[in-house]
Structure 1
Amino acid sequence: MEMSTMPSRLLIIAALVAAASGVCGPAAMAAGPSGYQDSTYVRSAHQGNLAEIAAGSDARTNATTSCVKDVGAKLVTDHQKLDTDLKALAAQSEMTLPTTPTAEQQQKLKAVQDKAGSAGYDQAWLADQEAAHTKTLALIDTQIRAGTDPAVTQSAEKARPVVAMHLDMVRGGTCHPV
């Protein structure tokens, strides 16, 4: 074997081994939400789901109108389904997810709960849900635009119409029936 071809063959072999092992190229991205954007989305969306499930459950108990109670029930059902997808994505990549909503989300719910049983509760709940779902849509749109993991981006694309529908139900601080 000629010495001039030996280094180039070694480089080709090294490149093939690296690609096959997932050290570089698309195989590294297909394993799970390993990119910063993807893992940030999974964690943030999961905490958002936890917050929406808690807020929806609270509305079913403390709202004064049947519309807010019904929208709360819809949020619980839908966000539980959306969270099932995120938990599966996290499990595939052995990502540990937070077990509670963020401190800010918990404080906002507490502020709404302080008005429990009054018309002020319903107004505060609707306003909080409008802000939360607007923020979640921005998170989803960022993932769709900048995500690198196809499975995570597909999950965001699946969640988008559900979150947009929820926003329509609470838009303008007015309850719009399910």
Structure 2
Amino acid sequence: MRKRLLAVAAAATAVTGMYAPAALAAVPAGDQDTSFASTVHQGNLAEIAAGQDAQKNAMTSCVKDVGAKLVSDHQKLDADVKAVAAKAKMTLPTAPTAAQQQELKDLQKKAGTAGYDSAWLAAQATAHTKTLALIDTQIRSGTNTALTNAAKKARPIVVMHLDMVRGGNCHAP
């Protein structure tokens, strides 16, 4: 009888251990998580559009190269956010915010000029500084483990992007 109880206890421990990570990943999203996912997704969409615009309208190869890097990285980061949001049954916005869209339109008015490059770099520095603050808040306060892990994974990439545009000077990837 004792051997049977030990076997049942061992099996229960094994099953619980096997499913614990899945249970942690399924933690429902709180308000912080939902806000983070929506805001970061819109930021990714805005960064992808801005990077594509830089590839087309920048005057220097450095800004064009940084734009290409932003597109590539933000597509990957957004795929992570969308996957986590889907599992948590979060609905994400379908476009950047109106302010982000207007900022890009204003920037496009300078297309093909030296002013475009400096304005683009400044806009990217501001956007990435805000994104870094959002990531840090998610890491501190998020309750959805998978989303917080995605934020931790994104942090060094956003820091690298910020380093490429900081101070209005382009630093090639």
Distance 1:172 1:149, change over 3 A: same
Structure 1 residue corresponding to 2:145, chosen from 146, 150, 162:
150
Structure 2 residue corresponding to 1:83, chosen from 57, 78, 92:
78
Task: Give me the TM-score of the superposition, normalised by structure 1.
Answer: 0.82
Structure 2 residue corresponding to 1:134, chosen from 129, 132, 153:
129
Task: Give me the TM-score of the superposition, normalised by structure 2.
Answer: 0.84
Query: Could you tell me how far apart the structure 1 residues matched to 2:24 and 2:152 are?
Result: 18
What is residue 106 of structure 1 aligned with on the other side?
A: 101
- What displacement does 1:173 show? 0.2
- What displacement does 1:31 show? 2.4
Note the 1:25-174 alignment, pairs <5 A.
30-32=25-27, 34-174=29-169
Query: Could you tell me how far apart the structure 2 residues matched to 1:159 and 1:123 are?
Result: 25
Query: Could you tell me how far apart the structure 1 residues matched to 2:92 and 2:100 are?
Result: 16
- The amino acid that maps onto 2:68 is A
Query: Could you tell me how far apart the structure 1 residues matched to 2:53 and 2:68 are?
Result: 9
CA contact (8 A) 2:44 2:77 kept: yes
CA contact (8 A) 2:42 2:96 kept: yes
2:155 corresponds to 1:177: no
SS in 2 for 1:43: helix
Query: Could you tell me how far apart the structure 2 residues matched to 1:118 and 1:86 are?
Result: 35
Same amino acid, percent of matched pairs: 70
CA contact (8 A) 1:33 1:152 kept: no
Q: Could you list the runs of 5+ residues in structure 2 that have no partner in the other structure?
A: 1-21
Query: Could you tell me how far apart the structure 2 residues matched to 1:157 and 1:29 are?
Result: 16
- The amino acid that maps onto 1:85 is D
What is residue 5 of structure 1 aligned with on the other side?
A: none
Distance 1:32 1:114, change over 3 A: farther
CA contact (8 A) 1:29 1:35 kept: no
CA contact (8 A) 2:27 2:143 kept: no
Instruction: Find runs of 4+ consecutive structure 1 residues off by over 3 angstroms.
Output: 27-30
- What displacement does 1:90 show? 1.1
- What displacement does 1:32 show? 5.0
